[in-house]
Amino acid sequence: MKTTAAKFELKMGHATREAYGQALAELGKTNPSVVVLDADLSKSTYSAKFAKEFPDRFFTCGIAEADMVGIASGLALSGKVPFASSFSVFLCAKGFDQLRMSVAYPHVNAKFCGSHGGISIGEDGPSQMAIEDFALMCSLPGFAVLCPADEVAARALVHRMAEHQGPVYMRTGRPKAPVLYNERESFAIGKAKVHGEPGQAAIIACGLEVGQALLAQSQLEEQGVLTQVIDMHTLKPLDEEAVAEAARNCGAIVTAEEHLLDGGLGSIVARAVARSHPVPMEFVGVQNTYAESGTPDELMEKYGLTAPHIVSAVKRVLRRK
């Protein structure tokens, strides 16, 4: 899909966590092997949609993410296609040893969804904010790691998760996300979505930051600066071909993510750039700190994740070309 930057406006839709629940219910109707687990948060992760339709295939595990991961592994080894959900901070932190030894090491066909990712969950504060999940999950051999930008991408990627052989982690968000795609768009694990032709810089983003990147693209075009936006909804396996083309054709790259800069999308893209075509880079993300409690808009602005911060990063990187 290619977007005309000057005409771009953010139009809010459903949260990606809602889309996840809807897609699970769709999967339940077509794939009897799909089973769903949750850690006492099904109303928040929206896996309750599946539970309502298929109560005999839904398992609530209580506030015990580590146990839930182990159960998911066992179900996968017995031929089921389990989807296990919780807040991403609890799933990845509490369940990491089991994700490592019971899922990644034996490479079982289990799927995981961490909702309420990033700092945009707002007033719940830092104990609920997953800003390390990309780094943790990308470190696990054999895992695919996804972060959809809108409801259309989230629904499509849940179906791709079910088709994929091997473990998958997807991050979803709490707030409503802007609708960036129409229902005719197709999505594939490991294949980025490109918005616009090559320009003076490429902005590579994931999750809510894709919408902010498209806003920045529009603002920059008004100032005579042309950019290309790449929605890197799959952090692992990374679309290295898209990264290499962006580096060759644009000559400068900015990454944007709702995650700590250490170990996140920027780190992954930088490694790919260093291998293929080294160019100047700038990085928009959470800067070596935990956030605080506040409204989502306040937090995204305070911690430098909004479109004006991406615009500034593009201008910085262009001075280094």
Burial class (CB in 10 A: 0-12, 13-18, 19+), 60: middle
65 catalytically annotated: yes
**Terminal CA-CA length for the chain:** 28
Query: Which residue bears the tokens 């499509």?
Result: 156
What is the rounded CA–CA span in Å between residue 113 and residue 244?
Answer: 29
Q: Which amino acid is at 285?
A: G
Tokens of 23: 């897609």
Residue 151 Cα to chain centre, angstroms: 12
> Which residue is catalytic, options 18, 65, 209, 257?
65
> Nearest Cα to 135, choosing from 261, 32, 242?
261
Q: Which amino acid is at 208?
A: L
> Nearest Cα to 258, choosing from 292, 229, 287, 295?
287
Work out the angle between the directed axes of helices 265-276 and 240-250 (0-180°, nearest 10): 70
The residues annotated with a catalytic role in the active site are: 65
